[in-house]
Amino acid sequence: MNLSFKTIALISKHQNLGVMSPLLRIGNFLESRNLEVLLDSFTATHITEKEYTILTLDEIGVQADLVIVLGGDGTMLNIARKLAFFDVPLVGINQGRLGFLTDLSIDTMLETLGSILDGRYIIERRMLLTAEVMRNEVLLFNALALNDVAVNRGIGGNMIEFEVHVDNEYVYSLRSDGLIITTPTGSTAYALSSGGPILHPSLDSIALVPVCPHTLSNRPIVVGPDAVIEVLMHHTEDARIHSDSHAHFGLQENDKVVVRRSPHAVKLLHSSSHSYYRMLREKLGWVEFS
């Protein structure tokens, strides 16, 4: 069943004057199809030639049928986390090289957007993680992550020590530079550079990827989507928790990090010709035999 798109919000990378021209092109294109165009307040600072309805992100989440994000994967990560509570579908347009999340090209964006508005698209639901830090049974930190939650040693510090539990069952104690708890979306980000597996975005699963473990037998583990992961800190060395490399918090000995699946998800729309494997080949430089 196709979604109905009547009100479209445009959101761009902040502090980037280069988005004005493509934003205006998209806005004019949408208006030519008799669609209402909305802007968030930050994006509106780039648009001076034309007046559109300006709303907060929360208002956009309530009123928009579709949100078009112009920028890179970092911009999409930020917007996706903020709009996940509203279940509004997102489309990503990349200004440079195509990203893992922003997979539409500026060169062909109007043609592709037209196809999506005509109902030719693929819907992907991407899982999110919630992360909490408990200290003496008191909640001190919580954050949402589309990519990953990482526990890392401090800059210039030594390895940190912690133990990992899954669903209240002890799994292992680890001495390492850290641990990445990743969604399928984040499996091609920080976790990939640490030797983690690539998880197809259609999977509902969570991967635990050690970062430079002292014992080489500590390998990545993939668990189910409803698993509750607990990391109990021992030797911290100024360790920190990071959520999508965005929100962060300093950890102390005996702190407990609790990570679980969020009840919310991100809804991404792709062109009907979108191929995840083709995108992997292009982004990771995989080659074909000639």
Active site amino acids: 73
pLDDT tens, position by position, 223-246 = 999 999 999 999 888 899 999 988
Listed ranges 75-89, 95-109, 235-249; the one with the highest mean pLDDT = 75-89
More confident residue, 236 or 33: 33
Could you tell me what percentage of the chain is helix, strand and coil, using 3-state DSSP and rounding each to the nearest 5? 25, 40, 35
CA pair distance 243, 29, nearest whole angstrom: 36
Residue among 236, 43, 56 nearest 157 (CA): 236
For 35, the 3-state DSSP assignment is: coil
List the single range of 49-58, 83-92, 120-129 with lowest mean pLDDT.
Answer: 49-58
Q: Which two tokens stand for residue 58?
A: 């929360």
Q: How confident is the model at residue 97 (pLDDT cuts 50, 70, 90)?
A: low
Q: What residues form DSSP beta bridges with 135?
A: 138
On the question of pLDDT at 1 being above 60, the answer is no
Q: Which domains does the chain have, with CATH numbers?
A: 7-120+272-284 (3.40.50.10330), 128-262 (2.60.200.30)
Q: How confident is the model at residue 98 (pLDDT cuts 50, 70, 90)?
A: low
Task: Count other Cβ atoms within 10 Å, centred on residue 19.
Answer: 24
Q: What percent of the chain has pLDDT over 70?
A: 97
- pTM here is 0.94
Q: How confident is the model at residue 270 (pLDDT cuts 50, 70, 90)?
A: very high
Q: What percent of the chain has pLDDT over 90?
A: 76
Q: How confident is the model at residue 165 (pLDDT cuts 50, 70, 90)?
A: very high
Is the distance from CB of 194 to CB of 208 less than 8 angstroms? no
On the question of pLDDT at 206 being above 70, the answer is yes
User: Distance from CA of residue 222 to its chain's centroid?
Assistant: 19
Q: How confident is the model at residue 197 (pLDDT cuts 50, 70, 90)?
A: very high
More confident residue, 45 or 222: 222
| The predicted structure's pLDDT at residue 51 | 82
| The predicted structure's pLDDT at residue 17 | 67
Q: How confident is the model at residue 96 (pLDDT cuts 50, 70, 90)?
A: low
| The predicted structure's pLDDT at residue 55 | 95
Is the distance from CB of 40 to CB of 47 less than 8 angstroms? no
List the single range of 116-120, 149-153, 215-219, 261-265 with lowest mean pLDDT.
Answer: 215-219
